[in-house]
Amino acid sequence: MTETARANLENLYRIFTVPEAPDSTLGAIDQAITKNVADFLQKHVVALERSLDDIEKDFSTSHIPDEPTFVSDYTQFVKEKLVAQSVHTAAPGFIGHMTSALPYFMLPLSRIMTALNQNLVKVETSKAFTPLERQVLAMLHRLIYAQADSFYQQWIHDSRHALGAFCSGGTIANITALWAARNHLCSAQGDFQGLAVEGMHRTLEYLDCEGLAILVSRRGHYSLGKAADLLGIGRKYLIHVDTDVNNRIDMQCLRDEYNKLKQQNIRVLALVGIAGTTETGHVDPLEAMADFTAEIGCHFHIDAAWGGPTLFSDTHRHLVKGIERADSVTIDAHKQLYVPMGAGMVLFKDPHTLTAIEHHANYILREGSKDLGSHTLEGSRPGKAMLVHAGLSIIGRRGYELLIDQGIDKARRFAEMIVQHPNFELITAPELNILTYRYHPEWLQQQMTSLDSHRRQLVNQLLDQLTREIQKRQREAGKTFVSRTRLRSVVYGTEQITVFRVVLANPLATEAILDAVLEEQQEIVSAADLQTILSSVAEICQSAVQNG
């Protein structure tokens, strides 16, 4: 080996070695980063104003550098080009999406998780993390299903069964639930080896039906469309049922859709209830849905990715009543359990259901082993369950209850603020802690009701444009952030309108900040080009008066 080669190799070994002293170069960088991160987190700014096109220039080469870079130089790059240009999802003014602040203790604990680099697919690379993950699944199972102690004693560490599966997020959780439901419905019998082995085509021939269907309300999360596609069911067999005035599935429409499917010889695989729709935070009539699934005999899945932790609240638990009757429930820990990104779960009422997707291999997941990987969609997975365990332990039930309660209270107060404000219109009132609204000036509100439907539609289109512009400019200004979506409002019939969407999960979001959000939106509207939009609206109203 040459001198250079030896030197290179030694350098290489060094980066894999833990710095022994905190005053080593790496140790110092490490401490500087900790401080830098703390500084960043203390800033109450959502994002710096710089366009994506411009940011892309810093990430435009496709060449992997030949030679190594010093960690210190790279850290500098990260600080200037990445951290500074990130979205401050933890800022109290960032109330537009479901990602919010993290409890600070999550940071040092995440470091432990990363450093241990356990792989939860098998005991041989996780050991204590395997029982820990099973415990977390049991805790969440109990939160939902409240079975007896003896039930959990029997199943918590039973290697052949699973109370649920840990996933990278709610999408994988929903897919896992529907995968298990599909395979369970179409399991082996006689000569038929089951859908898992024989595939969809033969299964439908065997069942002598034209298709399998999944029913969900119009507010169903887009991951269900992916699931229908992925599972070979087909997106057109994901039936979006109409909703009532409160964005909840309409039970009569559900029954009608079911009857239509029956006439077409299409079998219902699953009904999906939503406990906290992504866009409006509403909860489906879970009890009625449970009755209906019992009647027609299909899997009942509840997507409680957002609303699941409402179960912690003595005051608001009733809102998700019926969740305990679901066959499976999705909960995202990176949402209202305040765990860093990448932690979802699906819980199954019956510990046998997941055997429908069980799989084995020769080098791991051997039959009878305690390897978690035999019941998960994913393979290698990090030990994120540890952070859920930490949240449940450190915050506790009472802590989560407080978080849920204050979020719902704050959403209600914000709704009142919007209702009382002359220039805003509340579109969907909060049932949990999500609401939608739009800018709608007082003078227009007075005239809107008397407009004919054609003019009303034109006005709404202009308001949509206004809402879109306000949302974009507010985001770009970077002080506060709300998101936007399009939905049907009861007031405007089947017409879809564009609205601001607000999610109130960050405990540090104060009423003063909510006030500032509305204030800033009003200010944005005063821009000349947006005033032009409003002039067009005024002209339409004017023409109505003249014609009237």
Q: Is 236 in the site for a second copy (CB under 8 A)?
A: yes
Name beta bridge partners: 211: 266
What distance in Å separates the CA atoms of residue 155 and residue 372, rounded to the nearest whole number?
Answer: 14
> Segment near a second copy (CB under 8 A), from 122-130, 247-255, 521-529, 534-542?
122-130
Nearer to a second copy, 61 or 526 (CB): 61
Among left, alpha and beta (phi > 0; psi -120 to 50; other), residue 194 is left
Nearer to a second copy, 50 or 454 (CB): 50
Site for a second copy in 346-365 (CB under 8 A): 357, 359-365
Site for a second copy in 252-311 (CB under 8 A): 278-279
Nearer to a second copy, 435 or 444 (CB): 435
Q: Is 538 exposed, middle or buried (0-12, 13-18, 19+ CB in 10 A)?
A: middle
Q: Cα 188 vs. chain centroid, distance in angstroms? A: 34
> Segment near a second copy (CB under 8 A), from 172-180, 438-446, 453-461, 532-540?
172-180
Site for a second copy in 410-449 (CB under 8 A): none
10 Å Cβ neighbour count for 13?
A: 9
Q: Is 204 in the site for a second copy (CB under 8 A)?
A: yes
Out of 188, 245, 294, 394, point to the residue binding a second copy (CB under 8 A): 394
Nearer to a second copy, 359 or 454 (CB): 359
What distance in Å separates the CA atoms of residue 412 and residue 281, rounded to the nearest whole number?
Answer: 12
CB of 121 to a second copy, least distance (A): 9
Q: Is 179 in the site for a second copy (CB under 8 A)?
A: yes
Out of 142, 412, 421, 479, point to the residue binding a second copy (CB under 8 A): 142
194-226 b/e with 16+ CB inside 10 Å = b?
A: bbbeeebeebbebbeeebbbbbbbbbbbebbee
Q: Is 30 in the site for a second copy (CB under 8 A)?
A: yes
Q: Is 33 in the site for a second copy (CB under 8 A)?
A: yes
Amino acid making up residue 182: R
> Segment near a second copy (CB under 8 A), from 203-211, 287-295, 439-447, 456-464?
203-211
CB of 161 to a second copy, least distance (A): 14
CB of 142 to a second copy, least distance (A): 5
Out of 44, 160, 206, 234, point to the residue binding a second copy (CB under 8 A): 234
- Decide if 147 contacts 199 (C-beta within 8 A): no
CB of 342 to a second copy, least distance (A): 4
Question: Of 514, 484, 321, 478, whose CA–CA distance to 406 is shortest?
Answer: 514
Site for a second copy in 61-120 (CB under 8 A): 61-71, 74-75, 77-78, 81-83, 85-87, 89-90, 96-99, 101-112, 114-119
CB of 406 to a second copy, least distance (A): 7
CB of 72 to a second copy, least distance (A): 10
> Segment near a second copy (CB under 8 A), from 127-135, 288-296, 517-525, 537-545?
127-135
What distance in Å separates the CA atoms of residue 451 and residue 443, rounded to the nearest whole number?
Answer: 13
Question: Of 312, 333, 484, 516, whose CA–CA distance to 401 is shortest?
Answer: 312
Nearer to a second copy, 152 or 443 (CB): 152
Nearer to a second copy, 116 or 296 (CB): 116
Out of 2, 23, 52, 422, point to the residue binding a second copy (CB under 8 A): 52
Out of 162, 166, 217, 237, point to the residue binding a second copy (CB under 8 A): 237
Nearer to a second copy, 447 or 471 (CB): 471
Out of 185, 233, 517, 525, point to the residue binding a second copy (CB under 8 A): 233
66-85 b/e with 16+ CB inside 10 Å = b?
A: eeeeeeeeebeeebeeebee
3-class DSSP state of 255: helix
416-427 b/e with 16+ CB inside 10 Å = b?
A: ebbeebebbbbb
Number of residues this chain uses to bind a second copy (CB under 8 A): 180
Q: Which tokens belong to 68?
A: 């190594």
Nearer to a second copy, 251 or 402 (CB): 402
Q: Is 477 in the site for a second copy (CB under 8 A)?
A: no
Nearer to a second copy, 504 or 541 (CB): 504
Name beta bridge partners: 406: none
**DSSP H or E run through 472:** helix 453-477
Out of 49, 76, 188, 235, point to the residue binding a second copy (CB under 8 A): 235
DSSP per-residue codes, 92-111: TTB-SSS-----TTHHHHHH
Q: Is 124 in the site for a second copy (CB under 8 A)?
A: yes
- Sequence-ordered list of residues with C-beta below 8 angstroms from that of 315, at least 6 positions apart, any chain: 405
Out of 162, 181, 185, 195, point to the residue binding a second copy (CB under 8 A): 195
- Sequence-ordered list of residues with C-beta below 8 angstroms from that of 218, at least 6 positions apart, any chain: 240, 241, 242, 243, 488
Amino acid making up residue 99: T
Q: Using only C-alpha atoms, what is the Rg of the chain?
A: 26
Out of 135, 243, 313, 336, point to the residue binding a second copy (CB under 8 A): 135
Between β-strands 344-348 and 328-332, what pairing exists: parallel, antiparallel or unpaired? antiparallel
What distance in Å separates the CA atoms of residue 371 and residue 362, rounded to the nearest whole number?
Answer: 12
Residue with tokens 């949302």: 471
Nearer to a second copy, 280 or 447 (CB): 280
Angle (CA) 340-343-346 rounded to 5° is 155
Q: Is 141 in the site for a second copy (CB under 8 A)?
A: yes
**DSSP H or E run through 215:** strand 211-217
Torsions phi, psi of 383, nearest 5? -85, 45
Q: Mark residues 305-344: x for contact with a second copy by CB under 8 A, - for none.
A: ---------------------------x-x-----xxx--
Site for a second copy in 371-390 (CB under 8 A): 377-383, 386, 390
